A = this chain, B = another copy of it.
Amino acid sequence: MKKELTIGLFGFGCVGKGLYDVLEQTELINANIKHIVVKDKSKKREIDASNFSFDPNVILEDDEVNTVVELIDDADAAYHIVVKALKRGKNVVSANKKLIANHLEELIKTARENQVSFLYEAAVCASIPIIRTLEEYYNTDSISKVEGICNGTTNYIFSQTDNGKSYAEALQEAQDLGFAESDPTLDVDGFDAKYKLSILIKHAFGLTVDPDQIFNYGIRHVKNQDVQFGKEKNFRLKLISNVIRDKNQLIPVVAPHFVKEDHPTYNVNDSFNAVAVKGLFSDQQTLVGRGAGAFPTASAVLSDISALQFDYKYEYRKEIVASSLSITDNYNINVYIGSTSAQELAAVRFEKTSEEYHGNDYHYKTGFVSLSTLKDINFNDRESLFLAVLPENNKGTLDKNDQTVIAEKTEI
């Protein structure tokens, strides 16, 4: 019943090496890595150089290899590898969220045409089995909301800024610890979290969403005053990937959120990830676990490999109900926007203002802004501004000296 797996592994970075170690240590799976293909011939690696090949075709054209595990950084190179592997009748396991988010429809189609599996549990929240849970457990439940912390780097940084560090200090620390890349753009501007959200949407709702359709704003411009605003209300900052369903419309957003103590992610700190799913019947479920790291990511890859022994395929069972759904920007979101520039803040159109505050060197407004307005402003490039979504029913109060406070006004 169990298929024997002969693996061709692309990439021997931290996850690839993790998988190699895990396969060496576990007695629970009988899978054999036949080839490891890497790009850089000169890089020093922890196992002997004789284990490595440099030509992708060593794997792709070896008919004995029935399982390709793709763990490289370069999404474009990964695309060519994955497509060719699927077309050659090989099952593929990938952890490359950018590749998957940008080409999901085509990759699903190619896998189906060639009657092979394309699995990618590790691509979303690493060790948290959220894709499998959406596929298997929620396939009969109507989902109204999926939200979570899908990026460990930004959660680590926000945990540090909540503890009083500046953004620059926290980023440096994350880089020193190896959580953040030297160019952290994909993480700190919310792109990584957006790729993951678009994959979650496919499995939760059946709809394929181009990541470009999703508003993503990251954490780069958070200032001490923004953190302070949250602290006064016992809020914590989390970069949340959020999609809610309102009748036949989906509203996906990736942005910092102020969350209250009753929020499922409130106590999910440091590099941990969490995903909360709200279903019509199951009510709210939250899954919390390691969203990054060699072994947690490798364990998710391994669980996919193990599933291949039993010919497991994603069924995308929600596709049958997805045709009525669409993505909308026509939705107002309750946000906080802080700014060092009163002028730049004033230029943001609010549909409805709840609070407005002006200090000597900092200003903020809260209230409803339409998602299409948010999309029109390139927030990731606007250093003076910081935006965060407010908890539902926020009724914060203000009481400061020497400062102009206009609170709870409907229109200014």
Binding site for B on A (CB under 8 A): 18, 22, 25-29, 121, 127-129, 132-133, 136-142, 261, 264, 266-267, 279-290, 293, 295-296, 298-300, 302-303, 305-307, 310, 315, 317-318, 320-321
Assess whether A284 is in contact with B289, with CB atoms less than 8 Å apart: yes
- Closest Cβ of chain B: how far from A60's Cβ, in Å? 25
A-B residue pairs in contact (CB < 8 Å), sample of 26: A22-B281, A28-B139, A28-B142, A28-B321, A29-B140, A129-B133, A129-B136, A129-B137, A133-B133, A136-B136, A136-B307, A137-B303, A139-B303, A140-B299, A140-B303, A141-B299, A280-B295, A281-B302, A282-B289, A282-B295, A284-B289, A285-B290, A286-B286, A286-B287, A286-B288, A310-B315
Report Cα–Cα, A114/B25, bound state, in Å.
36
- Closest Cβ of chain B: how far from A266's Cβ, in Å? 7
For residue A26, which residue of chain B has the nearest CB? B140
Report Cα–Cα, A105/B138, bound state, in Å.
29
Assess whether B281 is in contact with A295, with CB atoms less than 8 Å apart: yes
For residue A133, which residue of chain B has the nearest CB? B129
Assess whether A28 is in contact with B127, with CB atoms less than 8 Å apart: no
- Closest Cβ of chain B: how far from A366's Cβ, in Å? 26
Q: A267-B266, A295-B281 are in contact. Are A289 and B286 (CB under 8 A)?
A: yes
Assess whether A290 is in contact with B283, with CB atoms less than 8 Å apart: yes
Q: A286-B289, A287-B287 are in contact. Are A141 and B26 (CB under 8 A)?
A: yes
Q: Which residues of B contact A25 (CB under 8 A)?
A: 280
Q: Which residues of B contact A128 (CB under 8 A)?
A: 285
For residue A305, which residue of chain B has the nearest CB? B140
For residue A293, which residue of chain B has the nearest CB? B283
Q: Which residues of B contact A140 (CB under 8 A)?
A: 26, 28-29, 299, 302-303, 305-306
Report Cα–Cα, A296/B281, bound state, in Å.
6
For residue A23, which residue of chain B has the nearest CB? B140
For residue A284, which residue of chain B has the nearest CB? B289
Q: Which residues of B contact A27 (CB under 8 A)?
A: 321
For residue A19, which residue of chain B has the nearest CB? B281
| Residue of A28, A280, A302, A320 contacting most chain B CB atoms (<10 Å) | A28
Q: Which residues of B contact A132 (CB under 8 A)?
A: 133, 136-137
- If A26-B142, A129-B137 are given as contacts, then 6 extra A-B residue pairs at C-beta distance below 8 Å, sorted by A number, are A28-B318, A136-B303, A136-B307, A140-B302, A281-B299, A282-B300
- Closest Cβ of chain B: how far from A204's Cβ, in Å? 12
Contact for A282 among B28, B127, B305, CB less than 8 A? B127
For residue A290, which residue of chain B has the nearest CB? B283
Q: Which residues of B contact A127 (CB under 8 A)?
A: 281-283, 285
- Closest Cβ of chain B: how far from A125's Cβ, in Å? 10
Q: A28-B142, A136-B307, A306-B140 are in contact. Are A283 and B289 (CB under 8 A)?
A: yes
Assess whether B280 is in contact with A296, with CB atoms less than 8 Å apart: no
Report Cα–Cα, A288/B283, bound state, in Å.
11
Report Cα–Cα, A141/B29, bound state, in Å.
9
Q: Which residues of B contact A320 (CB under 8 A)?
A: 28
Q: Which residues of B contact A267 (CB under 8 A)?
A: 261, 266-267
Report Cα–Cα, A368/B59, bound state, in Å.
56
- Closest Cβ of chain B: how far from A300's Cβ, in Å? 7
Which 10 residue pairs are nearest across A and B when measured between Cβ atoms?
A281-B299, A285-B289, A282-B299, A129-B137, A127-B282, A286-B288, A140-B306, A28-B140, A283-B290, A281-B295
Q: Which residues of B contact A286 (CB under 8 A)?
A: 286-289
| Residue of A133, A280, A281, A303 contacting most chain B CB atoms (<10 Å) | A281
Report Cα–Cα, A36/B302, bound state, in Å.
42
Report Cα–Cα, A265/B164, bound state, in Å.
26
